[in-house]
Amino acid sequence: MMRLRVMTPVAQVLDAPEVAAIRAADASGAFGILPGHADFVTLLETGALSWRDRAGRESHVAVRGGVLRVRGGALVEVAARDARCGDDLAALAREVLAEYSRRDAEETRARAEAARLHVAAARRLREVLEARRRPAPVPATPAFGPGAAPDGREDDAP
């Protein structure tokens, strides 16, 4: 048997001491974990993690991304940005995973906008610094014509 713990930054969402099997998904796809599994760490996608207890009952937890770590083949720990438990996978998918996906998309848009603003600020800063390096323009001197003195006054000479 394994112990499964799921934590968020604010709470321990799950501590299941007698887990017989776990199914989760990372960027490479879905995978299973059985007692005695080799130690490893992986990044979870936003989705559902499912497990079966000793009696064969299946339960689920929706995770909003996170890190899954297997230690000693007997402890599986998940640290997620957000997580919610439920026995009905369809209800979790309908209510929670849709919300998680929406928030993930909003955060992706916000990061892209922040990056765009950062690039624009860096360009403007470069323009200001380059302008300071250029020599100051020399003011135009007035043309000297007949009867004009170098200081711009009329010359009294005949």
Span 33-86, pLDDT tens digits: 999 999 999 999 888 999 999 999 999 999 988 999 999 999 999 999 999 898
Span 36-46, pLDDT tens digits: 999 999 999 88
Question: What does the block give as tokens for 48?
Answer: 């559902």
The whole-angstrom separation of Cα 100 and Cα 80 is 12
The whole-angstrom separation of Cα 27 and Cα 59 is 22
Question: What does the block give as tokens for 7?
Answer: 């934590």
Average pLDDT, the chain: 87
User: Model pTM?
Assistant: 0.64
Question: What does the block give as tokens for 18?
Answer: 């007698």
Q: What integer pLDDT is reported at residue 113 of this predicted model?
A: 93
Residue 93 near residue 52, CB atoms below 8 Å: no
Q: Which amino acid is at 69?
A: R
pLDDT at 134 over 80: no
Span 98-118, pLDDT tens digits: 777 788 888 889 999 999 999
